[in-house]
Chain A
Amino acid sequence: MSDGRSRLRSVVVVGASLAGIRAAEELRHQGYDGSLTVVGEESHAPYDRPPLSKQLLSGAWGMERLALPAVASDGGAGLDITWRRGERATALDVAARTVTLSSGESLGYDGLVVATGAGATRLPFGHDLDGVHTLRTLDDSLAIRSGLDAGPHRVVVIGAGFIGAEVAATCRRRGLAVTLVEALPTPLGRVIGDEIGTVIGQVHADEGVDLRVGVGVAGIEGNGRVERVVLSDGTAIDADVVVVGIGVRPATGWLEDSGLTLDDGVVCDPTCLAAPGVVAAGDVARWTNPVFDASMRVEHWDNALDQGAHAARRLLADAADPAAPGEPFAPVPWFWSDQYEHKVQMSGRTTLADRVEVVEGSFEERRFTAFYGRAGRLTGVLGLNRPRRVMQFRARIGAGISWDEAVAQIRG
């Protein structure tokens, strides 16, 4: 490691959110004492995103509570960071080891952390109208909040993924009329399967959400300002505020001609190394996770933290010895979503399951544990108001527990 420190004199981190800041923090923690530049497109100081759809949107919290702890107290002075905030990276040249900024300036580096995250996907229409939003950034959340403060007659949320479901829940708790539109048969169905998705849909319906599933959106209409959402079955829903939550795309546009391999994210080796001297972390990074022997790109808060730190250590190891194989990044992903007073938590892999079973509790009591399995192995666990169980089985999934053994343990 001491060699790595001496060879690595300048590190550039592109992306000033959770993964990038965690990488910067870990570099310093590991003793890196060269220059450390963090480039961030947004002008705000680094902040935490989960409250954007919950506490900030509800009005319970002000934006000052979102500051990331690593840089909250001193603005990053303790980490000796040179900030390039409000500037965007527009190009990377891996061979020359330079990053180009929107100002035209070029930054050289010995080590680069790519942590540009992801951007909200937009519909092909409607986004030119006032009152139509996506939710990814602090400014997005503040804009939606301001729309909610104005007392809209109805909010239409397009897309019942986790962001859409949380926005719908927050709006209901503010006493607003909400329609939640999802093209698939159930909310969250793509991730958690239709059976469990149906239960989540029922939770929202019980809370008074007007849930429309299995129907697409054909248009968003208005005159300068949004007035209605037209569904693919011809139904028109009057709306003052529309939130589009149809997923995100990894922010790789600036890397098109960089020499990095792009395929729904920056393709890394199993250790998070994308090229000599380049690591990637967070929503933008795709790598093969040995726990599941599968290519993954994980959009979770917890993964951004974990992978940011791992990527930083990998960069140091690469600088110390470029020929060393490096440590694979082998997490069992974990995720939470708060909707109303309910806590949804997931760990492992819930997609591609050949078996899904509620193994504890029941839908009726709104408290249960569900297992997801594939080829005889436990691959994922979901809890509704079962945090302890999810965390217990997170570790066991990492250890490769079989389906039968997992079921025996929970019923034991």
Chain B
Amino acid sequence: MRVVVDFDLCESNAVCMAVAPEVFEVRDDDFLYVLDETPDESLRDKVEEAVRRCPKQAISLAED
């Protein structure tokens, strides 16, 4: 599982950070940083929830 963020769509709403703080962080500069692009399978539910909850649909998962 690889986390892909479309930064043209991302508007740093920080919903993903609230759902999966292990993977996503919006810092004080209000930009999103992906802390772990290939998170462990144990985080799958959280990451999928972050994908679903993103108001801009800017996050996707690649399986490779």
Stretch at the interface among A147-155, A264-272, A310-318, A385-393: A385-393
Taking a contact as CB atoms under 8 Å apart, the answer to whether B52 and A386 are in contact is: no
Taking a contact as CB atoms under 8 Å apart, the answer to whether B18 and A386 are in contact is: no
Query: A48: which B residues are within 8 A, CB to CB?
Result: 57
CB of A359 within 8 Å of the partner chain: no
Contacting residue for B30 out of A305, A334, A386, CB 8 A: A386
Query: B12: which A residues are within 8 A, CB to CB?
Result: 343, 387-388
Query: A336: which B residues are within 8 A, CB to CB?
Result: 13, 55
B3 to chain A, nearest CB (A): 16
Query: B30: which A residues are within 8 A, CB to CB?
Result: 385-388
B4 to chain A, nearest CB (A): 14
Q: Given the interface contacts A302-B53, A305-B52, does A334 sit within 8 Å of B28 by beta carbon?
A: no
A302, A345, A388 — which one has the most chain B CB atoms within 10 A of its CB?
A: A388
CB of A363 within 8 Å of the partner chain: no
B17, B27, B53, B55 — which one has the most chain A CB atoms within 10 A of its CB?
A: B55
A: which residues have CB within 8 A of B?
48, 50, 69, 301-302, 305, 334, 336, 338, 343, 345, 385-388, 390-391, 394-395
Q: How far is the CA of A228 from the CA of B52 in the complex (A)?
A: 43
21 contacts between A and B (CB under 8 A): A48-B57, A50-B55, A69-B57, A302-B15, A305-B52, A305-B53, A334-B15, A336-B13, A387-B12, A387-B13, A387-B26, A387-B30, A388-B12, A388-B14, A388-B26, A388-B28, A388-B30, A391-B13, A391-B15, A391-B18, A394-B18
Q: Given the interface contacts A386-B30, A387-B26, A388-B27, does A345 sit within 8 Å of B52 by beta carbon?
A: no
Q: How far is the CA of A385 from the CA of B15 in the complex (A)?
A: 14
Determine the residue in chain B with the shortest Cβ distance to A72: B57
Q: How far is the CA of A364 from the CA of B51 in the complex (A)?
A: 35
Taking a contact as CB atoms under 8 Å apart, the answer to whether A302 and B26 are in contact is: no
Query: B28: which A residues are within 8 A, CB to CB?
Result: 388
Query: A345: which B residues are within 8 A, CB to CB?
Result: 13
Query: B26: which A residues are within 8 A, CB to CB?
Result: 387-388, 391
B: which residues have CB within 8 A of A?
11-15, 17-18, 26-28, 30, 52-53, 55, 57
Query: A343: which B residues are within 8 A, CB to CB?
Result: 11-13
Q: A48-B57, A388-B26, A391-B15 are in contact. List 8 more A-B contacts (CB 8 A).
A: A301-B55, A305-B53, A334-B15, A343-B12, A387-B11, A387-B14, A388-B12, A388-B30
Q: How far is the CA of A199 from the CA of B55 in the complex (A)?
A: 25
**In the A-B complex, the 5 residue pairs with the closest CB atoms:** A391-B14, A387-B14, A388-B26, A387-B12, A391-B18
A58 to chain B, nearest CB (A): 15
Q: How far is the CA of A100 from the CA of B36 in the complex (A)?
A: 50
Query: A391: which B residues are within 8 A, CB to CB?
Result: 13-15, 17-18, 26
Determine the residue in chain B with the shortest Cβ distance to A68: B57
Query: B57: which A residues are within 8 A, CB to CB?
Result: 48, 69
A26 to chain B, nearest CB (A): 10
A16 to chain B, nearest CB (A): 17
B62 to chain A, nearest CB (A): 15
Taking a contact as CB atoms under 8 Å apart, the answer to whether B52 and A69 are in contact is: yes
Query: A302: which B residues are within 8 A, CB to CB?
Result: 15, 53, 55
A380 to chain B, nearest CB (A): 16
A336 to chain B, nearest CB (A): 6
Taking a contact as CB atoms under 8 Å apart, the answer to whether B14 and A338 are in contact is: no
Query: A394: which B residues are within 8 A, CB to CB?
Result: 18
Query: A385: which B residues are within 8 A, CB to CB?
Result: 30
Determine the residue in chain A with the shortest Cβ distance to B18: A391
Query: A69: which B residues are within 8 A, CB to CB?
Result: 52, 57
Q: How far is the CA of A123 from the CA of B51 in the complex (A)?
A: 39
A389 to chain B, nearest CB (A): 9
